[in-house]
Amino acid sequence: MDYSKSVVTTSRFSDDFEKSLSSNGINLKYMSGRKINTSDLLNVQALVTYDIFDRIDLEELSELKFIQLTSQGFDHVPLNILIKNGIRLSNNYGGYSIPISEWIISRVLSTYKNMFQSYENQIKKKWERDLTYTEIKGKKVLFFGTGTISSTTAKLFNAFGAVCDGINYSGRSVEYFNRTFSYSKMEDISDYDIYIIALPVTEITESIMSVKLINSLKENSILINVSRGTILKENTVLETYARFKAIYLDVFEVEPLPETSKLWDISNIFISAHNSWFSDGNQMRLEERVYKNLTSFFENGKIHNEIDLKRGY
């Protein structure tokens, strides 16, 4: 490739990582995402970042050919400009699947083992045996979306003896799922014990989780959203929460979630601050991903897990 191998990153990487890139002739320069501007990137061929797109003008960056995101989601990226300028894009696909899958399992176990009640009893110094515990074994789990987060979580559920089904665009088979079907041929989904929403943001997915659909889900089940707040809207939750044993929300339409939100005060809704993705292993996986893509891109133009900009995934 006829590139000068100039890369700017708004994320910090280890010295060993930078040395490894340098040994491949790749010049990596760190710049603060809060202070960066368009002029800083005029001669850059590749950019490693999360979200600086409201502070730079991509249309002025004629040399930029590749953006490597440090996030898995990319709904904040102006795909239309990337298409127009011929800029290629890859996300941190699978980079957060392990922590998110563990987070999901921990929430299900918290409900099935009544952990919140145990904590309350401890605070009150109250010795009370709970004989209402539930097992994951034999439970039916439905995933909206069968990407890497869902498949990693399904693998864990399988280890517990649960049965996992999934819904995706085409109905294609995916490892760790008992069966899969497409959105357009969605079957009766009223008989699952656990529902997990892990969808990418597209025009199609933003209209799937309607009040009608949520009201068709099994009563006294568990509902978990780790996709985006625009997929499962707050008003939809407020209209349907009573039918669920527990709802776990890690993402919201407005973040931080305002103190005035009614979600805070509902006893079967459990809120976390969009941090299900965080883990002490994330940096290692990110460095492996970025190294593989940058060296490959500059060597032969190949990008692993490249986003189809027109399809949006």
pLDDT value at residue 2:
46
Same domain for 161 and 236, yes or no, is: yes
Same domain for 146 and 254, yes or no, is: yes
Q: Which helix (H) or strand (E) holds 84?
A: helix 79-85
Distances in Å between the Cα of 246 and the Cα atoms of 28, 200, 276, 306 are: 46, 23, 17, 36
Same domain for 199 and 243, yes or no, is: yes
pLDDT tens track for 14-39: 999 999 999 999 999 999 999 999 99
Same domain for 132 and 74, yes or no, is: no
Return the amino acid letter for 154: A
Contact 21, 291 (CB under 8 A): yes
In 190-281, which ranges are continuous DSSP H helix? Answer: 211-214, 234-240
In a domain, 309, yes or no: no
CATH code (residue 81): 3.40.50.720
Same domain for 250 and 128, yes or no, is: yes
Pick the closest to residue 160 from 119, 197, 117, 193 (CA basis).
193
pLDDT tens track for 189-236: 999 999 999 998 888 899 899 999 999 999 999 999 999 999 999 999
pLDDT of 1 over the 80 cut? no
Same domain for 135 and 167, yes or no, is: yes
Task: Name the percent of the chain in helix, strand, coil, to the closest 5.
Answer: 35, 15, 50
Q: Which helix (H) or strand (E) holds 289?
A: helix 282-300
